[in-house]
Amino acid sequence: MIEAPAPLPAQDVVVPRGEALRLGLRANPLMTLGAVLCLVVIVVAVFAPLLAPYPADAGSATHPFAVLKAPSSLHWFGTDNVGRDILSRVIFGARVSPVVAVLVLLIACLIGIPLGVVAGYFGGWLDEVIMRVTDIFLAFPPLLLALALAAVLPPSLTSLVIAIAVTWWPWYTRLVRGQAASVAGRPYVESCRALGIPSYRIVLRHVLPNAVTPLIVQVSLDFGGVILTASALSFLGLGAQDPTPEWGLMVAEGQNYFTTAWWVVTFPGLAILFTAFAFTLLGDGLRDLLDPKRTFLR
Amino acid sequence: MRLAITGLQVSFGARRVVDVDELHVGAAEIVGLAGESGSGKSMTTLAVLGLAHTVGATVRGSITLDGTELTSLSQRELREVRGRRIAAIFQSPATAFSPVFRVGSVVHRALRLHGMSRSEATEAASRAMRQVLLSPGLLDRYPSQLSGGQLQRVAIAIALALRAEVLLADEPTSALDVTVQAEVLEVLRDLRDSSGMAVLFISHDLAVVAELCDRVAIMREGRIVEQGPAARVLSAPADAYTADLLAAVPAIRAEGTP
Amino acid sequence: MIVYVARRIATAILVVAGVVVLTFVIARVVPGDPAATWAGPHASAAQIAAARRFLGLDRPPATQLASYFGGILTGNWGVAIHTHRPVLSDIGQAAPASIELVTAAMIIGLIVAVPLGLISARWPGRASDHTIRAGSILGVSMPVFWLALILQLVLSDRLHLLPSAGEFSPGLLFTHPLRQVTGFGLIDAPLTGNWPMFGSQLGHLLLPALVVAAYPAGLLTRMIRAQVLDTIGDTHIQMVRALGFRERAVYGRFAMKLAWNPVVVTLALVFAYSLVNTFLVEAIFDWPGLGEYAAASIQTLDTPAILGVTLFIALVYVAANLVVDVVQAAIDPRIRLR
């Protein structure tokens, strides 16, 4: 191995926090862009009623005389096949898919983390059983299992959340199990056990904190994936139903008019792309920053 | 003089890691470059090969190979020199060969890169392997299937097959067992005697340097503090630093070159 | 090597068993009465009861599972409600078209990913790197159904560059009908010397393949970049440079060879993921594959068909992982020598 030069003498300069953050952001322009874009999505979702020009159109309002109007100063994104303002629906859509994603990932973590901890920390036959079950779930490509479940359940947002959550928990179980197993094997944990410290305390103080960083990375990376899955299922008619302003559903509704009214499909789809792109960009940047040992879980 | 280094300065930005006034290696001689780890010895190797820029360092000064000034050559011209006229072997032989290539594949490709035909390459490789006392059949193996000493000898075989004039050996025995070391040292001596190669032997292990080298240069923080015939430098050092280094290795005592 | 392959096959079989059980469980989650659905909306109670007996729903769950298992193994995957044909034969007919589509998409993905990934890794931090990285994330974040519609509109409808739907020009059915040999149109056409058909097929394949290729291209570019950057600092790379190889060869041949390992492993995932993506894309392009079949099954809530396709793709995924592991062991000696 070619010898690296001897390390530089310690720096005595203290870098103020704001400065350090700014330097970190500048070194990571893509991640910064992702963070900014995510913020846009969150702001739009939170302030939707204030931002949308025709909030009622996000619900069941219909305007038979304003059907399929091209983008104009009145309707920046045009109107759809029942006359609803697409801009307003897209804005309110930011409250649908992202919220689905949050719920899904929450459930996935609530199931996956305890299972992973039990499997990784206690090991033995519990580990075997849990990991075999996980393996079977993971034997399905992600979208497929969610699709099968969503197809057999009555179509609604609730079914959507359940279907996708059932697909997503195994990844978190595997992730946490790996972390827990590696911590459990360390000498200081063995000494804790020998000292008689109860397991739950060891888990709380040593195992869980270790898993936090890769979990954060995985969640931010998964956010975009869940949004894509949710909108894909809604596109197929398996998730949100009319009049919910779900982006995938809006694309499906606009399909038949696409050649003459391009705006009905284009803008909701752009919203999906924008949001998934933003969170994946952020997640990618976070991974480079926090978890250099890339474990390509997906 | 095969290889002559004059006024060489290698720097990382403002920090200079190598500052050598004069160092030369002649044909059929083994010159040791000894010193502590981190003293800049390996950077010298990179500089000679014209690869210092790959780790972000800048080079000033003169490095001549049989009169040709290497520092003024383009990368394209340097590529013809690398491997063909100046060969290099590295410290950790297990990592110096790519784990997914058969050893012979790398050897073969290197030979063909420098102009040999397929049959010439096979022939030269076999001959070189035998010269380093290895069976040519070992070329079909993967690096994980060969020992460190064997890998190091394969690396030397490449230099032989290409008939390199200079060999830069960067801590080649440091990662090997003592008994395996002896095999490699034997091969290096053979290089000097039968092929007349000029060898620059870099090491932090003074005992090995004493056993192998004709002349020795002692490096400290990038500078050469003393150089001369090995027997003289290592038994009667002129510099205080050399004396300190020697004091740390009590077994050496006047064991000159063979 | 044999031992390794045997071990992997044994594991795969166990996983397959679990997959079948899981599919069975999903099938039983269906709310409502499958017998009533089967019998139709105007069935009498007696007809529903008869349907229940016919579908085997009146037997205890364990027996149902056993007969389900037996059915799967003997090729009886149930009958599709919307085609009234055995699910397995429906799948057998539809699968080749999708496999052609996904394979083409992956080839396009690799053709794009290798050079872009290498360029990105060779000059990291530069504008080219940032652009390529942003582009690859764009590919991975792309809603395929939307991309399909957009590209169809732009490239086919407006610019008339590519045909918009179908597997080949309909007229060829009469002038140059395709003789079936393997079931794979793209193999049968050149095999039987039907070149006009082959050309038409390729032209029609391009647009859907480009759409499906977005995800593989994005993912593989990122992977290759990461893998090459990981290995570029290793000693063996420096050694290869010291031997006089050009940077292009250092990256393209030596660093890349090491990167193939994880890329090959990912190919299984990418294949299965893209296969499911066809569900979203084929209907738009009238591509007569598994995706169109699945989409139609979803539309008609055809549970046996949906579950049949699910099981099929899961099995393909398990098989693909097995193949990939074996190929990986063949390329990278460290795996099989372990």
When pLDDT is cut at 50, 70 and 90, the band that residue A287 belongs to is confident
Residue A297 has pLDDT above 60, yes or no: no
When pLDDT is cut at 50, 70 and 90, the band that residue A103 belongs to is very high
User: What is chain A's mean pLDDT, rounded?
Assistant: 83
pLDDT in tens, A136-177: 888 888 788 888 888 888 888 898 999 999 999 999 999 888
pLDDT in tens, B44-76: 888 999 888 888 888 988 999 988 888 888 888
Determine contact, residues A84/A78, Cβ cutoff 8 Å: no
Contacts of C149 in chain A (CB under 8 A): 251, 255, 258, 265, 269
Q: Taking residues A284-288, report their average pLDDT.
A: 84
When pLDDT is cut at 50, 70 and 90, the band that residue A2 belongs to is very low
Among B45, B53, B100, B101, most C C-beta atoms within 10 A, so best to mutate, is B100
**Residue-level pLDDT at A279:** 93
Look at C243 and B83 and tell me if their CB atoms are within 8 Å. yes
pLDDT in tens, C200-227: 888 889 999 999 999 999 999 999 998 9
Residue A131 has pLDDT above 60, yes or no: yes
Q: Chain B residue closest to A7 (CA)?
A: B38
**Burial status of residue A207 (CB atoms within 10 A of its CB: 0-12, 13-18, 19 or more):** buried
pLDDT in tens, A23-42: 666 667 888 888 999 999 99
For the whole model, what pTM was predicted?
Answer: 0.84
pLDDT in tens, C33-53: 666 666 667 777 787 777 777
Among A137, A144, A256, A295, most C C-beta atoms within 10 A, so best to mutate, is A144
User: What is chain C's mean pLDDT, rounded?
Assistant: 85
Chain C residues with CB-CB distance to B under 8 A?
A: 234-246, 254, 257-258, 261, 331-334, 337
Q: What HEC string does chain C produce?
A: CHHHHHHHHHHHHHHHHHHHHHHHHHHHHCCCCHHHHHHCCCCCHHHHHHHHHHHCCCCCHHHHHHHHHHHHHHCCCCECCCCCCEHHHHHHHHHHHHHHHHHHHHHHHHHHHHHHHHHHHHCCCCHHHHHHHHHHHHHHCCCHHHHHHHHHHHHHHHCCCCCCCCCCCCCHHHHCCCCCCCCCHHHHHHHCCCHHHHHHHHHHHHHHHHHHHHHHHHHHHHHHHHHHHHHCCCHHHHHHHHCCCCHHHHHHHHHHHHHHHHHHHHHHHHHHHHHHHHHHHHHHHCCCCHHHHHHHHHHCCCHHHHHHHHHHHHHHHHHHHHHHHHHHHHHCHHHHCC
Look at A3 and B42 and tell me if their CB atoms are within 8 Å. yes
Residue A110 has pLDDT above 60, yes or no: yes
When pLDDT is cut at 50, 70 and 90, the band that residue A6 belongs to is very low
Higher pLDDT among residues C38 and A273, named by residue: A273
User: What is chain B's mean pLDDT, rounded?
Assistant: 86
**Residue-level pLDDT at A82:** 86
ipTM of the complex: 0.85
Residue C198 has pLDDT above 50, yes or no: yes
- Distance in Å, alpha carbon of C336 to nearest chain B alpha carbon: 12
Higher pLDDT among residues C64 and B176, named by residue: B176
User: Which of B8, B24, B47 minimizes the C-alpha distance to B214?
Assistant: B24
**Residue-level pLDDT at C262:** 84
**Residue-level pLDDT at B256:** 53
Of B38, B43, B95, the CB nearest to A1: B95
**Residue-level pLDDT at C45:** 79
**Residue-level pLDDT at A4:** 39
CA distance B238 to C170: 94
Of A33, A140, A152, the CB nearest to C30: A152
DSSP, residue by residue, B95-115: HHS-TTS-HHHHHHHHHHHTT
**Residue-level pLDDT at C225:** 92
**Residue-level pLDDT at A291:** 61
Contacts of B80 in chain C (CB under 8 A): 244
pLDDT in tens, C72-99: 788 778 888 788 888 888 898 899 999 9
- Distance in Å, alpha carbon of A181 to nearest chain C alpha carbon: 22
Does the beta carbon of C206 lie under 8 angstroms from any beta carbon of chain A?
Answer: no
Q: Looking at chain C from residue 153 to 192, which residues have their Cβ under 8 Å from any Cβ of chain A?
A: 153, 157
Higher pLDDT among residues C333 and A183, named by residue: A183
**Residue-level pLDDT at A25:** 62
Q: Taking residues B166-182, report their average pLDDT.
A: 87
CA distance C96 to C183: 7
Classify residue A85 by its DSSP letter.
B
pLDDT in tens, B118-163: 999 999 999 999 988 899 999 999 898 898 888 989 999 998 888 8
When pLDDT is cut at 50, 70 and 90, the band that residue C192 belongs to is confident
Residue A10 has pLDDT above 50, yes or no: no
Q: Looking at chain A from residue 184 to 213, which residues have their Cβ under 8 Å from any Cβ of chain B?
A: none
Look at B82 and C238 and tell me if their CB atoms are within 8 Å. no
Look at C333 and B82 and tell me if their CB atoms are within 8 Å. no
